[in-house]
Structure 1
Amino acid sequence: MKPRSLMFTLYGEYIQHYGGEIWVGSLIQLMNRFGISESSVRGAILRMVQKNLLEVRKLGNKSYYSVTAQGKRRVDDGVKRVFSASNTSWDGKWRVFSYSFPEEKRELRNEIRKELTWTGFGMISNSIWISPNPLEDQVMAMIHNYQIEENTVLFNTSDVLSHTSEGIIEKAWDLDQVAENYHRFIEEFSPRFEELRERALNNTLQDEECFIERTNIVHEYRKFLFQDPGFPRDLLPDDWIGAKARELFWNIHQLISIPSIRFFESIFEGAPDKEISPNRGRAINPFKEIYI
């Protein structure tokens, strides 16, 4: 796991529900469970602070970290997309985003491409991106955040004359590859789910093990946010394998959530001037349905 990506997972899954702030020592201990050294954690923290994704607060000789407004937007968007099923109807509109950056802003252009991919846009040419989802607010927030109003144009349209909807999807996304990746996810985690369920029935699961398993599967499933655009159901095949992968993910997540949270609470230390309800994290249930 890359330290930055793991930190986003930890903030989205746990830390945001405990005041959104954590002592750096706790963060180091948690990330150490995934083979990430203290120096790597501190290096990642420094880079995220420099990119305005994390901010630090000093109390005595201890440092406490929370996500910035920009970082929180990324965390909230990721949590929403991971735990919300794509079951809405398409409104028939395409959101089209275009940019033009001079060569000296190449790094900024690359950053915008990453943001668009994360948001679910597909590229139909070098500088034109498209999505059927109502992402106007997210894109406008990105434009304002990067101060690129002069370099970008965002509009929506229901008329695309040169291509059918199917043709646009084929041009901008490789859904066959996404489906293949979902298939691999199912092949890897289906046997793991059966093993975890059997051990849960026999009461042989350890809290730390569950924390690692839950964090790992969220981390793996989050990768699909860079691949699957989360189309409305009207634009997906009837037998879309992503639905089966989502159900498997939910089943594992729910099965091991309580012991995972217990372990997190045993390591977590927040700022002493913030009062956190002892039951705050245990009451969290991001699902409307349980598939076990």
Structure 2
Amino acid sequence: MNSPFHIEEIYSDDGSNALRMPRRQVGNSPQGFAMTLLADYTLRTRAALPSAAIVALLTESGVTTAGARTAISRLARRGVLEGSRHGRRSSYRLSRAAAANLSSGGNWILTSTTTAAPWDGCWTIVAFSLPQDHSTQRRALRGQLRWLGYAPLYDGLWVSPYELTPRARAQLEQLTLGTVTVFRGRQNALGSTSDRAPIEAWDIDAITRQYAAFLDRWTSLLPLVSAGQVDGAAAVRARTEVMDTFRRFPTLDPQLPVELLPAGWLRQPARDLFAAVYDGLAHPAEQHVRAVVGRFTDSTPLGVRAHTTADLIAGVRGAAGTTSAASAPPAEWETPDSAVDCDEVTVGPRPS
């Protein structure tokens, strides 16, 4: 499912953290599949799985053996996976940092696709100016803004209907080093054809097509899931793919106010369908993963446990001892305090 945005803007990878999560690709990538697979069945426990079992599960999803091994190796180099060896057998598990990141991300995916909070009619505007030779910094800033729920109304001017939180402000300050200004206020419409509404920063038609494609792809599978006719490798593959696809929506449609959207917006139907497929396949998929892992171990794989969307919303607790609810989500916004008039313009770090 192709995205209406450049992939670098959807998935920020500025290299500022020790943990380097793989940059998401359009379509299914071996690293993305491997990370989703381990998160779906070991996030609670951070259980180590034999590398041969991970390769076997990935090949069932259409990844080549060489591609699966390369993905595991690269995830280990990125700090996403931790390796261990027992005799001639190697195993891998999610690192503590990756588990915390994925737990937070899973919570964000679900909470960000619920009905948007009441909107006060105000917009947050982020204006920035960077020299032409600062392309890396510009790309990192655009990626961070996209993660924070912003979209470009004009070059160098991004907007969001929600207040910039203190944590988000701190993230932007680290990236921009005095090259950004933040305002909040209402649009003063010109009432002419030259007037451009802030909501036009998002390609609403393109997002609608994304939702429609998702619904078209997965609706036909739902009766089979409900009837228990999807199991084994097919259940694991479908569950991995539906998560890998659905998690793009919180960035494409970051809780945009329903007042600004066409009637019959497909956010909720897509979320409901995702939950029905993902949760409906949890048990058969877990059973298959256990069976595959069991072929490569001498004991019963007790650490394989699928979670549901309800678990992700509540916070999946792993061996790292943290919950997703306690971690800051990758994208963060909030409705402003009702005591603050949004017509009072607030200015953030000023360009130097």
Q: Normalised by the shorter chain, which TM-score bucket?
A: 0.7 to 0.9
Matches of residues 1-292 of structure 1 in structure 2 within 5 Å? 1-19=28-46, 22-48=49-75, 52=78, 54-60=80-86, 62-67=90-95, 69=97, 71=98, 75-84=102-111, 85-134=114-163, 136=165, 139-140=168-169, 142-143=171-172, 147-150=174-177, 152-153=179-180, 155-161=182-188, 167-170=197-200, 172-198=201-227, 200=228, 204-268=229-293, 278=302, 281-282=305-306, 284-287=307-310
8 Å CA contact 1:101–1:151 kept in 2: the answer is no
SS at the partner of 1:88? coil
Report sequence identity in percent: 21
CA distance in 1, matches of 2:85, 2:253: 42
Call closer, same or farther: CA 1:285–1:63 in 2, change over 3 Å.
closer
CA deviation vs aligned residue, 1:24-45 (integer Å, no higher than 9, x gap):
4443232222222243234445
- Paired residues, number: 273
CA distance in 2, matches of 1:163, 1:138: 34
8 Å CA contact 1:11–1:75 kept in 2: the answer is no
Call closer, same or farther: CA 1:188–1:97 in 2, change over 3 Å.
same
CA deviation vs aligned residue, 1:216-243 (integer Å, no higher than 9, x gap):
2112222323422222444444421222
Q: Give the drift of 1:205.
A: 3.5
Q: Which residue is 2:337 aligned to?
A: none
SS at the partner of 1:120? coil
**Highest RCO, 1 vs 2 (Cα 8 Å, sep ≥ 6):** 2
Shifted more, 56-65 versus 223-232: the winner is: 56-65
Call closer, same or farther: CA 1:207–1:242 in 2, change over 3 Å.
same
Q: Give the drift of 1:57.
A: 4.2
8 Å CA contact 1:178–1:228 kept in 2: the answer is yes
8 Å CA contact 1:88–1:233 kept in 2: the answer is no
Call closer, same or farther: CA 1:75–1:138 in 2, change over 3 Å.
farther
Question: If you compute each CA radius of gyration, which structure gives the higher value, 1 or 2?
Answer: 2
CA distance in 2, matches of 1:82, 1:116: 17
User: For the aligned residues, what is the CA RMSD?
Assistant: 3.7
CA deviation vs aligned residue, 1:178-237 (integer Å, no higher than 9, x gap):
112212222222222123334x2xxx4423221111112112222323422222444444
Return the letter of the residue paired with 2:224: E
CA distance in 1, matches of 2:156, 2:254: 18
Q: Give the drift of 1:123.
A: 1.1
TM-score (norm 1): 0.74
